[in-house]
Structure 1
């Protein structure tokens, strides 16, 4: 078979080009550190790598979402801590205001201190985050949730709060509504007693205290109404507001000795002299605005106590306020505990997400990363092959009959 010079040149050139291409491919692998530089290098591995890369990107998005959620919850936790401290300070002032040796001026000074706490709580209730959104506005976070009106502080936010996807199967609320924090009460809160604002007598109360939570009527509301026996002697009657049934009727009451009433699993201690028609109501703690509580006690402290009825009204207001502040503080602490639990859960999700990221990266490495030791060996081998093909081409190039002449 006769092989022409052109054929030998073309075959040698093709061989040298092929060696150069393979040498270049190995050089690219070493430079990139990847075994699969182009999808054609390993179509199956390249396809799987795309899926793993997408999963890795989604996992990173969840990690970013957890950072955002943690920042929001951490800020809320800080504000709730300040709110709790403010309520505790208010409770201290309420106890101080109960000192019978204080003058009206002294109580007015305490009212001024309470007003400062009141104003600070309004500011905390309208706290904004780093994006300018109101922290306790719920969905309505583009305007202050708590606004002054003729009737006091009103909530204009939303009771629904935003949730964020922080894991493949976990959607977490990243805030709490202002109504839940500033108007809610803890589910375990007890009874709150309140004297009617129209009372004209000097009767005061202490309590109520829980005696028997298993009582059939425990949890119902009750009203104590004072009257007289027709001879000017005080009496009291108790009505179950929930059923309308009379619990006790026209029971004699001695103003000098007072009395401890026991009914519906509760006890209430009375002192002082009531006027006919005076009332004291009791009910399980219900939603009560913290701002309304402070407004009521500030007004009471600014009212002169120049009569026995005024002194009794102040005492009863302080007693009711103290119980309501306890309930508000317990509610804030409960919400704060919930925030802390969510932050702890984010830590757990971070740990799980970190393990998932490690697994994805390990799988991706197995699919596309380069075995550097093997690649280096192949690089040297391919370099030797390329040099051999180049030398062979040079040898073929010098083959000519004219060299024999």
Structure 2
């Protein structure tokens, strides 16, 4: 086969472009820190990267739900603790009013304190999280309790998805359970009214009997708070697992797409030397021509 000068030039240009492309690829990897800049570079790596990023996005969504659930349950625990403290205060007042040694004026003062405690309990019962009433069930935009002792919420269970495969958790405690609602009326608030009325009338025996009713309400609130605490513990465990998963996904993503900078720099210097050598060789190959011999 006859080798022409044009063939030498074409072969040189082909090799020259290959060297230049490798050099450009090395530079891109160094600038971006990524092994792959386009799908054609490594289709398998790109596919794996997309899968991992999908898992990370899903994990981030679960983490956000977990954070929201933790905040909701934390506020619920605080509110239940406050209700328990207020009931305990009411019990202390009932014990004072049942001993039969207080004057009518003293009993009236105790009744006034009970009325204030009831108002505080209603206020706690209307606690909001991000503009939503936490004890209202699904009716989170409606204030669940008022002076009428009627419950305006429902028994809707608000579920947050915190993991794959339908892993959900109920984050709310409905007011009908906390406030012992029967036929739409809160028995807890009724107990507070009964205590106040008994104190105002000076009925020591009735006040004494109501102490048992207060104890029952206290036990109910404590049991619900314990259940909420167990859910909070589950949320903490889930949050830790999601954090570990996120770390593993991030490490896997880095291994799959991040370039080894030390290796990239080494390759860059090697390919740069090859590129320079090709330029020098090309100058020697292309230079000879018939005109050079005729000079």
Which interval holds the TM-score relative to the shorter structure?
over 0.9
- Structure 2 portions without partners, runs of 5+: none
Stretch moving more, 320-329 or 349-358: 349-358
Query: Could you tell me which residue of structure 1 aligns to residue 30 of structure 2?
Result: 30
Specify which structure has the higher proportion of strand. Answer: 1
Residue 288 of structure 1 deviates from its aligned partner by 6.1
Query: Could you tell me which residue of structure 2 aligns to residue 327 of structure 1?
Result: 216
**How far apart in 2 are the matches of 1:358 and 1:184?**
46
Q: 1:382 aligns with which of 262, 265, 271?
A: 271
What are the equivalent positions in structure 2 for 1:337-352 lying under 5 Å apart?
337-352=226-241
Residue 379 of structure 1 deviates from its aligned partner by 1.3
**How far apart in 2 are the matches of 1:118 and 1:360?**
51
Residue 20 of structure 1 deviates from its aligned partner by 0.9
Query: Could you tell me which residue of structure 2 aligns to residue 119 of structure 1?
Result: 119
Whether the aligned pair in 1 keeps the contact of 2:137 and 2:158 (CA below 8 Å) is yes
Shift >6 Å, 4+ stretches:
none
Query: Could you tell me which residue of structure 1 aligns to residue 198 of structure 2?
Result: 300
Residue 38 of structure 1 deviates from its aligned partner by 1.9
The answer to whether 1:138 aligns with 2:137 is yes
Residue 61 of structure 1 deviates from its aligned partner by 1.0
Q: In 2 relative to 1, CA 117–300 (structure 1 residues): closer, same or farther, beyond 3 Å?
A: same
What are the equivalent positions in structure 2 for 1:141-152 lying under 5 Å apart?
141-148=140-147, 152=148
What are the equivalent positions in structure 2 for 1:17-166 lying under 5 Å apart?
17-129=17-129, 131-148=130-147, 152-166=148-162
The number of residue pairs the alignment matches comes to: 291
Query: Could you tell me which residue of structure 2 aligns to residue 273 of structure 1?
Result: none
**Deviation string, structure 1 residues 189-243 (Cα, Å, up to 9, x no partner):** xxxxxxxxxxxxxxxxxxxxxxxxxxxxxxxxxxxxxxxxxxxxxxxxxxxxxxx
**How far apart in 2 are the matches of 1:349 and 1:341?**
12
**How far apart in 1 are the matches of 2:192 and 2:17?**
89
Stretch moving more, 75-84 or 373-382: 373-382
Whether the aligned pair in 1 keeps the contact of 2:59 and 2:242 (CA below 8 Å) is yes
Residue 157 of structure 1 deviates from its aligned partner by 0.1
Query: Could you tell me which residue of structure 1 aligns to residue 253 of structure 2?
Result: 364
Whether the aligned pair in 1 keeps the contact of 2:158 and 2:170 (CA below 8 Å) is yes
SS in 1 for 2:29: helix
The answer to whether 1:5 aligns with 2:2 is no
The answer to whether 1:393 aligns with 2:282 is yes
- Structure 1 portions without partners, runs of 5+: 186-286, 306-313
**How far apart in 1 are the matches of 2:120 and 2:215?**
19
**How far apart in 2 are the matches of 1:334 and 1:179?**
14
**How far apart in 1 are the matches of 2:217 and 2:153?**
19
Whether the aligned pair in 2 keeps the contact of 1:126 and 1:136 (CA below 8 Å) is yes
Whether the aligned pair in 2 keeps the contact of 1:184 and 1:331 (CA below 8 Å) is no
**Deviation string, structure 1 residues 253-290 (Cα, Å, up to 9, x no partner):** xxxxxxxxxxxxxxxxxxxxxxxxxxxxxxxxxx9611
Stretch moving more, 165-174 or 82-91: 165-174
CA RMSD of aligned residues (A): 1.9
**How far apart in 2 are the matches of 1:184 and 1:33?**
62
Specify which structure has the higher proportion of helix. Answer: 2
Whether the aligned pair in 2 keeps the contact of 1:184 and 1:328 (CA below 8 Å) is no
Query: Could you tell me which residue of structure 2 aligns to residue 168 of structure 1?
Result: 164
Larger Rg, first or second structure (1 or 2)? 1
Query: Could you tell me which residue of structure 1 aligns to residue 175 of structure 2?
Result: 178
Whether the aligned pair in 1 keeps the contact of 2:95 and 2:208 (CA below 8 Å) is no
Whether the aligned pair in 2 keeps the contact of 1:29 and 1:36 (CA below 8 Å) is yes
**How far apart in 1 are the matches of 2:290 and 2:205?**
127
Residue 391 of structure 1 deviates from its aligned partner by 1.3
Whether the aligned pair in 1 keeps the contact of 2:5 and 2:286 (CA below 8 Å) is no
**How far apart in 2 are the matches of 1:184 and 1:88?**
20
**Deviation string, structure 1 residues 279-305 (Cα, Å, up to 9, x no partner):** xxxxxxxx96111001111112222x5
Residue 168 of structure 1 deviates from its aligned partner by 1.9
